[in-house]
Structure 1
């Protein structure tokens, strides 16, 4: 394939097309949510402007909306290699996780154990802790190594035991970018017949994901992290989904995936999701949509790699910067968390916003267990800079200049 230019990538994002009289934003907040691709915007506006309706009617706009949901499921299925009927939509990943956790209650008893991790966003921790509390079950945490920012998997059988009924793990950290060896975790979980829930919210924008190959039971992600609108997505293996006794209204459908989708869905957001997936597809080549999506993601990965290497090298060379980054032999996403000596993280991000119009985030990013263990909360958490495919080498260089300027002004 012919490599894409950054100009081609940026052309799809209206938010990057600032007027010449306005200092342009530089978006380094991809892990918190990417900008929306024009295909997603157009799809949302098209659905809204051409007649909206609820489902299951005999009239054309309702029939169109029925088809929209089915097309949305098919698009996700092609992106993540699952069945369309295994795809459910919701308000966000967190709400879906709580709903799924509540529906799993009949499978958990007081003698059981639920395993979560110290590395994860709390959206893949607290729903399962709540489930354990409701059932009187025990919660165990797979620890994170405070030096490598990776999960300690050497003695995995000590954490995932015959008592384990559910394991929840993130595919990649939304703070450090660490990509976890979840194949090892899933293999151990299956040895003891435990269910596995994977948080792929941070992973889907940066990796090719294969639900079938992973072998997990539930995979959760969010469209606004990969160029679409705010919408949660759950992929639930058919064998489990059919058995889930979800909380629902009596007249609502009993079949999957409809039974998990309580109330009226955000139809315009589902249209935007299709548009976002269409954007990824437009970057690739192949005879089928799955092939184009796979090669499209490979184009994104290739583009981000150059910027990742540049930024990692520059951050690791500054003695005033503590970079929370896994070793070179550990795969990582282009997401960087760091702290500066004696400086509150909010002061750093405010300065960059005021002086460079850079959108850089700060805080614990809901990975609060990790923040507690690494003792960063007294500094306002981390400064996090996360790359997206529309970022450029010039933007990264400008950040490097700005960071050195900040250090000179604020650190003696």
Structure 2
């Protein structure tokens, strides 16, 4: 583990994130709230400022700032397409992943009817559940659930053949749990969806910052993520397979474009935010090696994944050694993101997070994190949910030591 930590260019990485210079209560701030939104790389901030400082404009104008805006959007699309192994005309931007998913659900629902079926999971963030439940209610469809085992914190896939049927129109699954970090076997689920001709919708919001995501390897028809989770601005992103995208019937204004990908992007987009996407993606590539951008992404993510997992292992081992701490995580052999959910006996998650901030300047979060179904099933939602600590490539071993020390001191005061 030590070799892994020493080989990562942490000092160079941290120089790229201005927010890391912040202090709180006289101490340098430790951001372990990445699952809720990462800090933003400076190059992304610079691009946002540059776009606005040079004069923003709406699209389809005959003047320079309008043409430059169109070029900025095109470059952002191509960057996202390269990131996931897609085509640029399959990339859609919007306010956030939730808003885009509701729009896609409404568009798809126009072609569904009573008796059709949808599949969602108990492990997912509700942004990949409720848009589908809403359209199912509107259209009189049947909803089937992939259950989560409360002990293993993994999806129960043994009954996959019974849950995904010829009547299934769409299967919605998260690539990784934003609450407990479990990485799901999406290719296995997608293969079954493909057998029956169902659409595979994959929520990759939590996964994208942590490991290499290949749209085609997953078997996803619809891939969803958010740039603010991977070091960029607050922009939602959908990657929609071209054939599916062409068949969509979105709700839109009459004069709005009919062609891909514009037909799903209602109104004027957040152009300055979109300008910040390409630099965020380039930051990941800058950590890798290879002749092509895809090769750089793959090797960059391998470096990130190895580094983050080494830090996460240290955190998990330390927490497991504290009797008062209950960890919520899958078995060691199950792949996980560096996202650690836990509780401390005798103190509420909210109080723990407040004390960690006030006493140690360590920022961790509490709640159900919109993984409400899982929290309900585990019986913890009524008393505060989890404490969640999540890692990013700008976190250091010294910060993990401060986190561990803070938790140990809080526990000591309860004894």
| TM-score band, normalised by shorter chain | over 0.9
Bigger mean CA deviation after superposition, 35-44 or 294-303: 294-303
Structure 1 counterpart of 2:407: 403
Determine the C-alpha separation between the residues in 2 that align with 1:339 and 1:305.
21
Q: Is the CA contact 2:187–2:217 (under 8 Å) kept in the aligned structure 1?
A: no
Match of 2:144 among 129, 140, 145: 140
SS at match of 1:56: coil
Show CA shifts across 1:245-302 (max 9, x none): 0111111100010000000000111111111111112111222222222222122112
Equivalence for 1:176: 180
SS of equivalent residue, structure 1 residue 104? helix
Other structure's SS at 1:372 match: helix
Instruction: Please report how far the alpha carbon of residue 4 of structure 1 lies from its aligned counterpart in structure 2 after TM superposition.
Output: 3.1
Match of 1:208 among 209, 212, 216: 212
Q: CA RMSD in A?
A: 1.5
Tell whether the 8 Å contact from 2:222 to 2:240 is kept in structure 1 after alignment.
yes
Alignment of 1:122-201 (within 5 A): 122-201=126-205
CA shift at 1:22, angstroms? 4.2
Distance (whole Å) between structure 1 residues aligned to residue 22 and residue 163 of structure 2: 51
- More moved, 125-134 vs 302-311: 302-311
Match of 2:123 in 1: 119
Contact 1:337 / 1:383 at 8 angstroms: preserved in 2?
yes
Question: Which of 11, 16, 20 does residue 20 from structure 2 map onto?
Answer: 16
Greater CA deviation, 20-29 or 275-284? 20-29
SS of alignment partner, residue 288 of structure 2: coil
1:324 aligns with 2:328: yes
Deviation of 1:215 after TM superposition, in Å, equals 1.7
The Cα of 1:193 is off from its aligned counterpart by: 0.9
* Matched position secondary structure for 1:404: helix
The TM-score, its normalising length taken from structure 2, stands at 0.97
After superposition, the Cα gap between the structure-2 partners of 1:69 and 1:344, relative to the gap in structure 1 and judged at 3 Å, is same
Contact 1:76–1:84 (CA under 8 A) maintained in structure 2 = yes
User: How far did residue 43 of structure 1 move?
Assistant: 0.8
Separation of aligned partners in 2, 1:325 and 1:20: 30
Structure 2 residues not aligned, in runs of 5+: none
Q: 1:121 to 1:20 in 2, by over 3 A?
A: closer
Corresponding residue SS for 1:179: coil
Q: Does 1:59 align with 2:63?
A: yes
Is the 8 Å Cα contact of residues 318 and 404 (structure 2) preserved in structure 1? yes
Cα distance in 1, alignment partners of residues 364 and 350 from structure 2? 10
SS in 1 for 2:376: helix
Q: Does the aligned pair in 2 maintain the 1:343–1:379 contact within 8 Å?
A: no
**Residue of structure 2 equivalent to 1:278:** 282
CA separation of 1:384 and 1:20: change in aligned 2, threshold 3 A: closer
Structure 2 distance, partners of 1:377, 1:281, is 39
- Shift of the alpha carbon at 1:21? 9.6
Q: Which runs of structure 2 are paired with 1:1-400 in the superposition (5 Å)? A: 3-18=7-22, 22-400=26-404
My pick for the range that moved more, 266-275 or 278-287, is 278-287
Distance 2:78 2:42 in 1: 20
The alignment partner of 2:120 has SS state of strand
> How many Å apart are 1:107 and its aligned residue?
2.8
Aligned residues: 411
3-state DSSP of counterpart to 2:69: helix
Structure 1: which 5+ runs fail to align? none
The question of whether the paired residues in 2 share the 8 Å contact of 1:31 and 1:335 is answered with yes
Shift of 1:378: 2.5
Q: Is the 8 A contact 2:25 2:358 kept in 1?
A: no
Alpha-carbon contact 1:3-1:299 (below 8 Å) kept: no
**Distance apart, 1:342 and its partner CA:** 2.8
The alpha-carbon distance between structure 1 residues 162 and 359, as it changes in their structure 2 partners (threshold 3 A), is: same
* Partner deviation per Cα, 1:100-124 (whole Å, 9 max, x = no partner): 0000013321111111000000000
SS in 1 for 2:252: coil
Q: Name which of structure 1's ranges 104-113 and 66-75 shifts more when overlaid on structure 2.
A: 104-113
Any idea what SS the aligned residue of 1:306 has? helix
CA contact (8 A) 1:116 1:169 kept: yes
State the secondary structure of the residue aligned to 2:250: coil
